[in-house]
Amino acid sequence: MPFELPKLKYAYSALEPNIDAKTMEIHHSKHHNGYTSKLNSAVGGTPMENKSIDDILKSLDMSNNALRNNAGGYYNHNLFWEVIGPNCGGAPTGIIANAINKAFGSYEDFKKSFTMAATSRFGSGWAWLCADSNGNLEICSTANQDNPLMPGECGKTPILCIDVWEHAYYLNYQNRRPDYINAFFNVINWNEVEKRFKVVS
């Protein structure tokens, strides 16, 4: 069954003023849709076409750039839309807050480390909060559309991510990536992040 562009659970305008409606519309309906279409083209007629996106990524031939870029772009954006939302943000509570405090010392220290990973990623890419089966958290970043599930990356499961490709913020923030990253913390859906953490750990 072909991969499908997921429908968002909120309107394109729902994340304003942190992420503007036009950026959301272009990001979802053009960029993510493009990765979805090209992923289907890359796996069509191959043994990969009946695999889940997770299985494709974990067994990926990293020299297959068409599959690497588009499978990554598809997965990464699927997660991105899920872990942000309206009426979200602020400090986490509950189990995920405890895990963050254990790993980083405090939420503020987590924010500093996550911001550094996103800010220092040269060019296009992503920053991630990942978890393992023991409940350990790790922050990492990847270039382009790579992600932690791919061979040679951290090997943990992503539970939160931020897209730092310019298409994610340039209409509203231009070259002010740090401002976009700061605004991102206002839209993190910590309930969804915690749900994903519980599944992994």
CATH architecture of 20-201: 3-Layer(bab) Sandwich (3.55)
Specify the DSSP element, H or E, that contains 159.
Answer: strand 157-163
- Residue 188 DSSP code: B
Please answer whether residues 88 and 49 qualify as being in contact, where contact means their C-beta atoms are separated by less than 8 angstroms. Answer: no
Please write the tens of the pLDDT for every residue from 150-195: 999 998 999 999 999 999 999 999 999 999 999 999 999 999 999 9
Token pair 């993190």 in the structure block, residue: 188
pLDDT class of 34 with cuts at 50, 70, 90: very high
- Residue 1: pLDDT band with limits 50, 70, 90: low
Give the model's confidence band at 6: pLDDT under 50 very low, under 70 low, under 90 confident, else very high: very high
Q: Which helix (H) or strand (E) holds 192?
A: helix 190-200
Question: 170 burial class (0-12, 13-18, 19+ CB within 10 angstroms)?
Answer: middle
Domain ranges of the chain: 20-201
Q: What is the pLDDT of residues 76-135, one digit of tens each?
A: 999 999 999 999 999 999 999 999 999 999 999 999 999 999 999 999 999 999 999 999
How many angstroms from the chain centroid is the CA of residue 60?
Answer: 18
What single-letter amino acid sits at 190? W
- pTM for this structure? 0.97
Confidence of residue 61 (pLDDT cuts 50, 70, 90): very high
Q: pLDDT grade, residue 63 (50/70/90)? A: very high
